[in-house]
């Protein structure tokens, strides 16, 4: 009877653990099924009621027609009641290339009156990564309302005359850019007397001048200048330079629409203003191109080129530069450089030789672009004076402090300092800044390239810190820099121990691969169907820290929190796709946790490991989150390790030889 009672109690305990393990997984599956069958909460069908909402003074609207296609709005022109055209409404999706936000295009309905003023906008549809967890964040905080009565003579730049949505800078930028570009094209064709059309006609003329020219023709006309950097081993770094300014037509011709848009977006995110100089990188150099080795010189003054002044501009597959270079970038010129006069571009190969130098001057058609002259092709509007960098130094300083705390607590194995670090990480990176890493950063890099990360300095800092620490020590990010990891550790600390259960080894050993399956599913979806995002169903911290409006998301979060209260670090063990990615990287980690021969006869660390990564002296390093617990116990000799090998052997304790880590 006692044996049966014991077996029954073991089964009840195991059944609780199994339900805690698989109930969130079942809910995740149901949520995905629901998502696949659900209709989008947005409507791409433009109804007369929606047109009336954006242009209430109109009495009637035409069907969408014309080139480009617009809805023409009719209404009273004068106090006498005479009726005529009072504006145009159009969808940004009819004006390629579409501006890509954080993970997908954003479709907007725009109303433009006959004075070339945007009267109102309505976001019709977007499939941004965080929409599922944050709800319709583009409709909140007055973002769309600020485009009411906004003239096209404004700059339409986020951070200057447009306020972006908090923690959604890329989405805000893409939405604003799409509205501006589409509205200007409508003005070109339908409002020829507005003054906006003249600028568009200039762009058309510029295109007519440049489209027939090849890359070699541009070199012949001195619009493209070349600099060969000769290295000691007889290899050559071949650099090409061309002025782009901020002219969209010129940039698209040289780079292609998508790559120029990405480069200009990154430059705009880093600086209030700045003209671009295209850099093509090629040759057979044994020493790769380093952007920090570039410098500019004018009037005897040298201007260093820090990394943030160089933006990635694609793989040189589109535009005039196609197949003329291995890849392309762009220099954001300092405001001190006078583009109307020659300046020198320097590249230091760091081989003891003087820097290679190129005298760079803008001439002919490109000077018309730079000056805004109306000679054949006047080009861009006059550039606004640069007021400084967009880099948020308080965020950078805060991150540096957190990084210092993480490394101090990790290297000293100080438990109190680690709890302080976890608390700061939870509050700042979770609730205040929202700057935590997500698997979406991996999927968006697949879909959009690295520019999204390279253009965001705080995010780049976190990515670099995470990669460096993972390659050296393992998943330090998971233990000390992940806000949701902090939430789980706090749960384990305050939940009564009698509620906490140990997952049977046979269940744990199979279930831990679920997160790798989830990671593979998310990556496959990113490659096969990049416009559909599912990662938010596997990352409940977006719900918690972005204050989701979705009931399904909150249900997933609450179930995972309940499971984490029962099983330590439940989410890290079985669900987290980012943890799975870092687990794969940790295979290459250089510094592993030290084990001693006494560990072969001890299970103290095995019982306290929050991720179940330890079995006696063996550590499944891909599952280890470097939480310091087992290392601290070894330092303080909390287990069998407090006895010497000789004393244990003399007492008949069998110690196994350690395998190399």
* pLDDT tens for each residue of 200-221: 455 667 777 777 888 988 888 8
303 and 354 together in one domain: yes
Range of the structural domain that residue 164 is part of: 48-194
Of 61, 361, 5, give the one whose Cα is nearest residue 370. Answer: 361
User: Locate tokens 């509007």: which residue?
Assistant: 381
User: What Cα–Cα distance (Å) separates residue 313 from each residue in 4, 262, 418?
Assistant: 70, 7, 41
Q: Do 106 and 42 contact (CB within 8 A), yes or no?
A: no
656 and 507 together in one domain: no
What's the CA gap between 62 and 70, in Å, rounded? 9
Q: Do 341 and 359 contact (CB within 8 A), yes or no?
A: no
Count of domains for the chain: 4
What's the CA gap between 255 and 8, in Å, rounded? 70
Residue 386 lies in a domain: no
What's the CA gap between 264 and 247, in Å, rounded? 10
Question: Which strand (E) or helix (H) includes residue 25?
Answer: helix 2-37
Asked whether the CA dihedral 530, 534, 539, 543 is positive or negative, the reply is positive
Q: Which two tokens stand for residue 420?
A: 């302080």
User: Locate tokens 């253009």: which residue?
Assistant: 455
Q: Do 570 and 560 contact (CB within 8 A), yes or no?
A: yes
* pLDDT tens for each residue of 126-146: 766 555 445 566 766 678 888
User: What Cα–Cα distance (Å) separates residue 550 from each residue in 28, 345, 557?
Assistant: 14, 53, 11
Look at residues 591, 615, 632 and tell me which one is the last residue of a structural domain: 591
pLDDT value, residue 548: 63
185 and 306 together in one domain: no
DSSP β-bridge partners for residue 117: 151
pLDDT value, residue 44: 60
Residue 201 lies in a domain: no
62 and 101 together in one domain: yes
Residue 377 lies in a domain: no
234 and 280 together in one domain: yes
586 and 615 together in one domain: no
What's the CA gap between 541 and 438, in Å, rounded? 9
516 and 533 together in one domain: yes
Write down how long the chain is.
661
64 and 190 together in one domain: yes
Look at residues 322, 343, 371 and tell me which one is the last residue of a structural domain: 371
Residue 209 lies in a domain: no
The low-confidence residues of the chain, meaning pLDDT below 50, are 1-7, 9-11, 13, 17-21, 24, 28-42, 132-133, 198-200, 374-390
pLDDT value, residue 390: 44
Which residues are within 8 A (CB) of 343 and not within 5 positions of it... i.e. 6 or more apart? 296, 297, 298, 337, 360, 361
32 and 60 together in one domain: no
Residue 115 lies in a domain: yes
Q: Do 162 and 178 contact (CB within 8 A), yes or no?
A: no
Q: Do 162 and 180 contact (CB within 8 A), yes or no?
A: no
Crossing angle between the packed helical segments 415-424 and 483-494, to the nearest 10 degrees: 120
DSSP string, 299-323: TTEEEE--GGGEEE---S-SSTTTT
Of 180, 179, 197, give the one whose Cα is nearest residue 188. Answer: 197
Look at residues 591, 614, 646 and tell me which one is the last residue of a structural domain: 591
pLDDT value, residue 661: 56
pLDDT value, residue 594: 86
Asked whether the CA dihedral 321, 324, 329, 332 is positive or negative, the reply is negative
Of 134, 113, 139, give the one whose Cα is nearest residue 42. Answer: 139
Residue 405 lies in a domain: yes
Residue 206 lies in a domain: no
528 and 576 together in one domain: yes
Q: Do 482 and 627 contact (CB within 8 A), yes or no?
A: no
pLDDT value, residue 204: 62
Residue 607 lies in a domain: yes
Q: What share of the chain is helix, strand, coil (3-state, %, to 5)?
A: 50, 15, 35
Domain with 282 in it: what CATH number? Answer: 2.60.40
Q: What is the DSSP letter of 382?
A: P
Q: Which two tokens stand for residue 99?
A: 């501006």
pLDDT value, residue 547: 65
Q: Do 548 and 133 contact (CB within 8 A), yes or no?
A: yes
pLDDT value, residue 383: 36
pLDDT value, residue 40: 36
581 and 601 together in one domain: no
Coil, strand or helix at 632: helix
* pLDDT tens for each residue of 457-490: 788 899 999 999 999 999 999 999 999 999 999 9
544 and 654 together in one domain: no
């Amino acid at each position: 009877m006692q044996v049966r009672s014991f077996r029954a109690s073991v089964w009840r305990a195991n059944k609780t653990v199994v339900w805690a393990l698989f109930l969130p997984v079942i809910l995740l599956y149901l949520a995905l099924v629901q998502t696949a069958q659900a209709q989008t909460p947005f409507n791409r069908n433009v109804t007369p009621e929606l047109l009336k909402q954006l242009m209430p003074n109109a009495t009637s609207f035409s069907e969408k027609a014309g080139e480009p296609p617009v809805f023409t709005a009719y209404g009273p022109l004068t106090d006498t009641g005479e009726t005529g055209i009072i504006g145009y409404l159009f969808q940004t999706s009819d004006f390629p290339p579409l501006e890509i936000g954080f993970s997908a295009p954003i479709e907007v309905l725009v109303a433009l009156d006959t004075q070339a003023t945007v009267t109102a906008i309505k976001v019709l549809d977007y499939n941004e990564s965080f929409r599922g967890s944050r709800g319709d964040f583009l409709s909140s905080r007055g973002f769309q309302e600020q485009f009411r009565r906004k003239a096209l003579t404004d700059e339409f730049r986020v951070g200057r005359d447009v306020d972006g949505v908090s923690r959604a800078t890329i989405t805000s930028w893409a939405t604003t850019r799409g509205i501006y570009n589409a509205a200007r094209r409508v003005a070109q064709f339908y409002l020829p007397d507005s003054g906006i059309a003249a600028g568009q006609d200039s762009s058309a003329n510029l295109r007519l001048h440049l489209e027939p020219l090849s890359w070699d023709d541009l070199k012949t006309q001195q619009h493209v200048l070349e600099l060969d950097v000769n290295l000691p081993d007889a290899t050559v770094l071949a650099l090409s330079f061309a002025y782009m300014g901020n002219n969209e037509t010129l940039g698209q011709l040289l780079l292609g629409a998508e790559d120029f848009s990405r480069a200009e977006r990154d430059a705009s995110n880093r600086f209030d203003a700045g003209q671009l100089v295209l850099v093509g990188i090629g040759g057979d150099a044994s020493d790769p191109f380093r952007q920090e080795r570039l410098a500019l010189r004018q009037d005897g003054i040298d201007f260093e080129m820090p990394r943030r002044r160089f933006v990635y501009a694609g793989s040189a597959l589109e535009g005039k530069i196609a197949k003329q270079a291995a890849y392309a970038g762009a220099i954001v010129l300092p405001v001190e450089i006078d583009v109307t006069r020659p300046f020198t571009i320097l590249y230091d190969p760091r081989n003891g030789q003087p820097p290679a130098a190129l005298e760079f001057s803008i001439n002919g058609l490109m000077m018309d672009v730079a000056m805004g002259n109306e000679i054949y092709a006047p080009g861009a509007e006059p550039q606004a004076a640069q007021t400084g960098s967009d880099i948020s130094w308080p965020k950078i300083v805060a991150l540096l402090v957190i990084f210092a705390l993480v490394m101090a607590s990790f290297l000293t194995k100080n438990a109190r300092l680690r709890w302080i670090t976890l608390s700061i990480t939870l509050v700042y990176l979770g609730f205040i800044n929202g700057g935590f890493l997500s698997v979406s950063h991996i999927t968006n890099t697949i879909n959009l390239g690295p520019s999204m990360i390279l253009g965001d300095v705080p995010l780049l800092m976190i990515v670099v810190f995470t990669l460096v620490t993972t390659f050296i020590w393992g998943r330090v990010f998971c233990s000390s820099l992940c806000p949701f990891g902090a939430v789980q550790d706090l749960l384990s600390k305050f939940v009564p121990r009698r509620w906490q259960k140990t997952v049977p080894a046979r269940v744990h050993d199979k279930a831990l691969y679920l997160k790798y399956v989830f990671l593979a599913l998310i990556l496959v979806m990113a490659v096969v169907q990049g416009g559909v995002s599912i990662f938010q169903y596997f990352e409940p911290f977006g719900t918690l820290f972005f204050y989701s409006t979705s009931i399904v998301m909150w249900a997933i979060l609450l179930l995972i929190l309940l499971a984490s209260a029962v099983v330590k670090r439940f989410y890290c063990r079985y669900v987290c796709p980012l943890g799975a990615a870092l687990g794969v990287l940790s295979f290459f980690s250089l510094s592993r946790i030290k084990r001693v021969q006494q560990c072969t006869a001890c299970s103290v660390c095995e019982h306290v490991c929050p991720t179940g990564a330890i079995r006696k002296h063996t550590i499944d390093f891909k599952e280890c989150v470097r939480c310091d617990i087992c290392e601290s116990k070894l330092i303080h000799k909390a287990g069998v390790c407090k006895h010497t090998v000789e004393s244990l052997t003399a007492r008949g304790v069998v110690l196994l030889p350690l395998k190399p880590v």
